[in-house]
Amino acid sequence: MTAPTASDLAAAALATAAPSDADTADAIAQLADVAGHASTVLFNWRRDNPAAADVDRALNLEMTLDQRAIDLRGKAVKLLGAQAADAIAQIQDAAQKVDTFLGTVKKTGDRLAIASAVVGLAGAALVGDAGGVLQAVVSVHGALKDARA
């Protein structure tokens, strides 16, 4: 058996890095659901707390999250870059954590910070840059950590 060449190794690495269309579609659908869920949480909070100080900010975030959910459900997304598979896994992990945790957050500021981080993550996913997604995921985890503290 001949030793693999550098180009063989590079091709193998790329094949490993490239997520399947089904994996990408699953992750994007999950992220769309989280964007929609976050928007609903803010909407219900705003409706139940009309006199709260941050209702305008919540309204803006809701509108943006709504639009992101629509875009994620309606547009083709293909994550590019060597870290694409990792980005898909990170989107799914972050989406799961936000979905589980968001409804239990008590402080308005924390809730808005998480929602804002989700906006950033959804935007990065729509651009299709795996590196940008991984950066945005760090923000999501940071917002979740702050909310838990």
If the CB atoms of residues 38 and 137 are measured against other proteins, the closer one turns out to be 38
Report the alpha-carbon distance of residue 143 to residue 110 in Å, rounded. Answer: 7
If the CB atoms of residues 16 and 44 are measured against other proteins, the closer one turns out to be 44
Binding mask 70-109 for other proteins (x = CB under 8 A): xxxxxxxx--------------------------------
**Angle between the N-to-C axes of helices 6-17 and 84-101, in degrees from 0 to 180, rounded to the nearest 10:** 20
We find the least distance from the C-beta atom of residue 51 to other proteins, in angstroms, to be: 12
Distance, in Å, from the CA atom of 126 to the CA atom of 79, rounded to the nearest integer, reads: 8
Interaction between residue 58 and other proteins (CB under 8 A): no
Binding of other proteins at residue 24 (CB under 8 A)?
Answer: yes
C-beta closer to other proteins: residue 71 or 93: 71
Q: Which stretch binds other proteins (CB under 8 A): 19-27, 85-93, 114-122, 128-136?
A: 19-27
Distance of closest approach, residue 63 Cβ to other proteins, in angstroms: 9
Tokens of 145: 């950590």
Between CA 84 and CA 66, with CA 29 as vertex, the angle to 5 degrees is 115
Nearer to other proteins by Cβ, of 81 and 146: the residue is 81
21 exposure class (CB count in 10 Å sphere: 0-12, 13-18, 19+): exposed
The reply to whether 22 sits near other proteins by the rule CB under 8 A is yes
CB 72, CB 125: distance < 8 Å: yes
